Each structure stands twice: as structure tokens, then as C-alpha cells.
Amino acid sequence: MSTSEKIVLAYSGGLDTSVAIGWIAEATGAEVIAVAVDVGQGGEDLDTIRKRALACGAVEAYVADARDEFADEYCLPALKANALYMDRYPLVSALSRPVIVKHLVKAAQQHGAGTVAHGCTGKGNDQVRFEVGITALAPELKCIAPVRDLALTRDKAIDFAERNNLPIETTKKNPYSIDQNVWGRAIETGFLEDIWNPPIEDIYTYTQDPAEPRDPDEVVITFDEGRPVAIDGETVTMLQAIEILNQRAGAHGVGRLDMVEDRLVGIKSREVYEAPGAIALIAAHQELENVTVERELARFKRTVDQRWGELVYDGLWSSPLKQALDGFIDDANAHVSGEIRMVLHGGRAVVTGRRSGQSLYDFGLATYDTGDTFDQSHAKGFIELFGMSTKLAAVRNQKNG
Ligand code: ARG
């Protein structure tokens, strides 16, 4: 066994991280251990990715199947928090980083590596999520980012790959930067950097064009304490629930987003997303909360949900505040059980029915028809006292002109 320094690299199988293996080895003299994490990104066969890492000079290469773990421990908490950064973005990339980090740290500890490397640039959120995430789990580990710290540019990467005959495609020019997992897909750069340019149909793979004529699809989602447990009566795992809705909601173009986003590093960036399963699930979960969560708890939870999303976006998955909020969010989901019926059509997931043994909706209190049990005579006094402080202020202001 060699005694040289070991570095664990977050490996995607793409050009940059393939070249990074040799680039890091040359720059530092360390041995590189490549770790790829399957978060449901699909695409290439994982064994092909593993073999490529070895062919590019990694001393060891692993692929961790983290799909269920990602769905259960990362996507589910996001669903319970109705997590939408800037009220829109379901945190696709932000959610996958902490589970990748967990596997990198595990590999570093198993192999006695002192450093973890990732392929992020110096302009994005992901570098923060990796490095703060690693610090939170293993404060003794160091981080390097070859693209940012070792001057590994795209042109140099292509040149390096060709010179060293690395088994990786360098000619196929993808103009976009894409990150995808089972919770959704992010598309950046290329012609999208002109924020007046509309997205073209070509960039989407999880969703069909919502403008194409199609018959609507009706789906019933069953939740238990905030967790989706069945679809149309068939028991599902969290991962299956997301996958099934990616298919069914994706077929109707649900979950496409085009937005300018506030990055943690201070810049605004154009982002296109597609997250059909996530958007359908969040819409259903939110509505079931409307039916089952008491008003004051629901109002406060909206503030907590927003803060939770910002913390996760900002790379603070393992921070004390985020963890404390998890406790609140879990508690608030204790009664979020029941069924939601939705229609998927024309780019939208629209709730059309709700049914729950935990419902706070009281037909007798709500109805305007016969069977009304609401005693309207209490309303007059209630309003009198409820409005008292506002009225006192108004009278004072009137008196003082
Ligand atoms: N802006 C999004 C985020 O920060 C997406 C990042 C996608 N990453 C990428 N390498 N394309 O969560």
C-alpha cells in the first residue's frame, strides 16, 4: 500500500471531473479516489462511469446508489417543508449536494484521505454547498476545487484529455450546464444567458410541451404524516412516488420554470428548471396542509418553510438552525394524512378534491345551505372586540387631525 496523500473526488463521469483526476494527481502528487453518487440522474450506466474513472487514473472508484436515501432523507423533508426557493425553485441541485457530501466524507474516512475535491466553479452555489457541507460533517477535511483553484479551464481540460488519450468525448459540445436528479433538472448557460431569449423545446427532457393537445390525467395521492404512501391506491416508496409523478406530470408539461435567481455569491442568474414530480407533490402536500393544519400553525409554518428553503439553498443543510427547523416541520406534519385528487393537464397540476380523517374542515360550520351549525350571532361581538384597538387608534388620529 502506498503512503502518498489521498484525495477523494466527487466524480460525475463528465469531461471536467474525468480530467480532474489526472490534473489533481499532477498538481498535488496525491492519489485520487473517485466517488460517484447515484441520485437518480439517469443517463450513463454507472459501471461505465466507474471504469472511466479508473481509466482516467483514479486508484479507486466507487458508485454509491443513493436513490432511495436521497428520496427519503432529502426530498421528503423538502416536501414536508413545501420547499420552493424564491417561491418557485424546488431546490433540485441544492438537495443533492448534502447526500453527495455524505458519501464523499464516508469515502474519505474509509481511505484515510485528508482532502475532498469537487468540480464546481468559483461562481456558483454548489461550491459553497460542498465545502460548508463537508466542514459540517468532518471539520478536519480540506477541500479543493480544480476548476476554481488549479486553473482547470474547459480548453485545458479538452487539451489534457486529448494529450493523455482519456476515454472521454471532447468534441461533443453541449452549450448548457445541466444538473439533474430524481427531484428535477436544472439547465443553465448558453443562449439562456441572454435573459430575453425564451427557452427552446430542445432543452427539456423531463417534460413534454404543455401546449400539445392531450387528454387530462387524474391522479389520487395518499399521504401519511406528510409522506406520499400511495398513488391511485397502489403503495409506493418516496422514490417511486417521485418517479411515477415525473412520468405522469412530465407528460403534461407540469413543473417547467424559467426564472432569474438570487445566488448566494450575490449575482443574479438565469435558470430553467423542470421538476414535474416535485411540483405536483408539493402542490398536493400544500393543499392537504390547508385541510389538516390548524390556522396559527399553518401561518407560522409558511415562514419556517421559506427560511428552511433559504438555508438549504445556501448550503446550510447540516447547520443547527436547519436541523432545529426540521423538528418543527416534522411536528407540523403529524396530521398531514389523507388523499388529494389532482388533474394533470396543460402544464399544471390542479387539485380538484381532498379527503382526510384528520380534516379540520367542518361542513356544518362552512355550509351556507341547510345543516348550518355556525352561530352567526357570535360574529358581531367578535368583530367589535377584534377591531377595538384599530378603532381606538383611528379615533385618536381623527381627534388630533
Ligand atoms: N442554480 C441552481 C442551484 O444553485 C442550479 C445549479 C445547477 N448546477 C449546475 N452545475 N448546473 O441550485
Does residue 172 have a pLDDT over 70? no
What is the number of helices (H) and of strands (E) in the chain?
A: 15, 14
Average pLDDT over residues 247-262: 98
CB of 93 within 6 A of ligand 1: the answer is yes
Query: Which alpha helices (H) appear in 43-91, and where do they start and end?
Result: 46-55, 67-70, 76-80
The pTM of the full predicted model, rounded to 2 decimals, is: 0.96
**Which candidate, 181, 157, 178, places its Cα nearest to that of 169?**
157
pLDDT digits (tens, 9 = 90+) for 377-395: 999 999 999 999 999 999 9
Looking from the CA of 70 toward its CB, the CA atoms found within 13 Å total 30
Catalytic residue among 50, 52, 97, 270: 97
Pocket test for ligand 1, best of 125, 148, 181, 269 (most atoms within 8 A of CB): 125
Number of neighbouring beta carbons within 10 Å of residue 58 = 23
d(CA 5, ligand 1 centre) in Å: 31
Q: CA 103, CA 142: separation in Å to the nearest integer?
A: 15
Does the annotation mark 88 as catalytic? Answer: no
CB of 126 within 6 A of ligand 1: the answer is yes
Q: CA 10, CA 183: separation in Å to the nearest integer?
A: 20
Pocket test for ligand 1, best of 15, 85, 118, 126 (most atoms within 8 A of CB): 126
Give φ, ψ of 349 to 5 degrees. -110, 105
Does residue 364 have a pLDDT over 50? yes
- Rounded to a whole number of angstroms, the CA Rg of the chain reads 25
CB of 246 within 6 A of ligand 1: the answer is no
CB of 186 within 6 A of ligand 1: the answer is yes
pLDDT digits (tens, 9 = 90+) for 272-292: 999 999 999 999 999 999 999
**Which candidate, 340, 344, 78, places its Cα nearest to that of 207?**
344
Number of neighbouring beta carbons within 10 Å of residue 269 = 18
Structural domains in the chain, sorted by start: 6-173 (3.40.50.620), 178-293+335-355 (3.90.1260.10), 363-399 (1.20.5.470)
235: CB partners within 8 A, 6+ apart: 229
Per the CB < 8 A criterion, the answer to whether 133 and 107 are in contact is no
Place of cell 461562481: 123
Structure confidence at residue 372 (pLDDT): 93
Does the annotation mark 318 as catalytic? Answer: no
Using pLDDT thresholds of 50, 70 and 90, give the confidence band for residue 44.
Answer: confident
